Amino acid sequence: MVAKTQLPTAHRSGLPRVTVVLALLFCCLVFAGCADNSANMLNAAGPAAEKINTLWWFMFAVGGVVYLVVMGYMLLALFRRRSDSEQAETPREGTSIVVWGGAIIPGIILAITFGATVFTMGALNQPETANDLVIEVTGNQWWWDVRYPGFGFRTANEIHIPVGQPVAIKLHSEDVIHSFWVPKLHGKLDMLPGQVTEFWLEADEEGVYLGECAEFCGIQHAKMQFLVIAMEPEAFELWVADQQQPARQPRDTMAQEGQRIFLDSTCINCHRIEGTDATGELGPDLTHLASRRTLAAGTVPNNRGNLGGWIVAPDGIKPGSLMPPTPLTGAELQALLTYLETLE
Ligand code: CUA
């Protein structure tokens, strides 16, 4: 009985229920952006991102106070009734509000936030400790070429770094302007054709951090992602030693057949597999393809099914991809996949 007589608050207050539902849906939509934590810049995991985070919260606080003050004045203007004698007064009071509220105070606030921004940018210029490790990352439509010149190998769409050490990153683009962004580790930096831009990355903790292209660069801009994998220094050294090895030669007959198909196909025009005759440079290096977590620059998980789909119909996974489809019979594709899966 009691439950029946209690109407929902929204109904009692006269607010249409549809408004409440729409407001809740809107909130869900807004906060849905916070659900995936892998690229949440407010959840900093490195010294550079922490500095940016501090600046962001400072600006958020300043903006919040300004918003509340402005809204307060607006409500005052809406609801305060002036007496006839007040309305007849000279407009001097109004003028001083405009001068202070419209020019002097905003000028001071903008100067402070500008100063804080310049200070943060200065602090981000150089890491606090020196580093030897240099990684060269080249943006391409729509994937990332990753080179470790000091170690003499090349990979793609995955950047492994030792945890707790700043790593120098040299950025460059082969085609159009891209932008390199790992939200939990650092701010964005443009990748320009014909010019090298430099910054650094450092992760405080082991983990996998999502990176993405932050500059519209064509139809598959949204599917131009990469992973930064921060590892303990010993694990990083083992990973480097693995990557420095040429590809393993296939042992079983199906994989050997797959290798023959690969080397006879147009794949070798664009892809390199160290230790074989495939020396193409235009596409990702496949020497250790099977050790990577994703395909097509973070578009799909790296597994046999996705790899097969990617080889025969790249457009089905990434419309506009520059990789052409490779026509193969079912048996040929299975052999090729078996070979590619040996490239650990
Ligand atoms: Cu590359 Cu957007």
DSSP for 192-210, please give it.
Answer: -BT--EEEEE--SSSEEEE
Using the mean position of ligand 1's atoms as its centre, give its distance from the Cα of residue 213 in Å. 4
What's the pLDDT at 160? 97
212 lines ligand 1 (CB under 6 A): no
Helix (H, G, I), strand (E, B) or coil at 130: coil
Lookup: tokens for 189: 């930096």
Q: What share of the chain is helix, strand, coil (3-state, %, to 5)?
A: 45, 20, 35
Q: Return the ∠ at Cα 212 (arms to 316 and 41), rounded to 5°.
A: 140
Q: Counting atoms of ligand 1 from 1, which one is nearest the CA of 222?
A: 2
Which residue's alpha carbon is nearest to atom 1 within ligand 1? 178
Q: Decide if 207 contacts 45 (C-beta within 8 A).
A: yes
HSE-CB of 337 using CA atoms within 13 angstroms: 18
Q: Decide if 295 contacts 305 (C-beta within 8 A).
A: no
One-letter amino acid at 209 equals Y
217 lines ligand 1 (CB under 6 A): yes
Q: What is the pLDDT along the chain (344 residues), one digit of tens a residue?
A: 344 444 444 444 556 777 877 888 876 666 665 555 677 888 888 999 999 999 999 999 999 999 999 999 899 889 887 766 666 556 677 788 889 888 999 999 999 999 999 999 988 887 777 678 999 999 999 999 999 999 999 999 999 999 999 999 999 999 999 999 999 999 999 999 999 999 899 999 999 999 999 999 999 999 999 999 999 999 999 999 999 999 989 999 999 999 999 999 999 999 999 999 999 999 999 999 999 999 999 999 999 999 999 999 999 999 999 999 999 999 999 999 999 999 99
Using the mean position of ligand 1's atoms as its centre, give its distance from the Cα of residue 225 in Å. 9
Using the mean position of ligand 1's atoms as its centre, give its distance from the Cα of residue 264 in Å. 32
Using the mean position of ligand 1's atoms as its centre, give its distance from the Cα of residue 182 in Å. 13
**Interior/surface letters 80-112, b for 16+ CB within 10 angstroms, e for the rest:** eeeeeeeeeeeeeeeeeeeeeeeeeeeeeeeee
Using the mean position of ligand 1's atoms as its centre, give its distance from the Cα of residue 220 in Å. 8
139 lines ligand 1 (CB under 6 A): yes
Sign of the C-alpha dihedral, residues 35, 37, 41, 43?
A: positive
278 lines ligand 1 (CB under 6 A): no
One-letter amino acid at 97 equals I
Q: Which of 240, 229, 223 is nearest to 295 (CA)?
A: 223
Strands 178-181 and 207-213: antiparallel
What's the pLDDT at 90? 60
171 lines ligand 1 (CB under 6 A): no
Sign of the C-alpha dihedral, residues 63, 66, 70, 73?
A: positive
223 lines ligand 1 (CB under 6 A): no
274 lines ligand 1 (CB under 6 A): no
Regarding pTM above 0.75, the answer is: yes
What's the pLDDT at 5? 44
Q: Decide if 159 contacts 229 (C-beta within 8 A).
A: yes
What's the pLDDT at 26? 77
H helix intervals, 33-104: 47-79, 84-87, 92-99
What's the pLDDT at 54? 94
Rounded Cα distance between 315 and 7, Å, is 54
Q: What is the CA radius of gyration of the chain?
A: 28
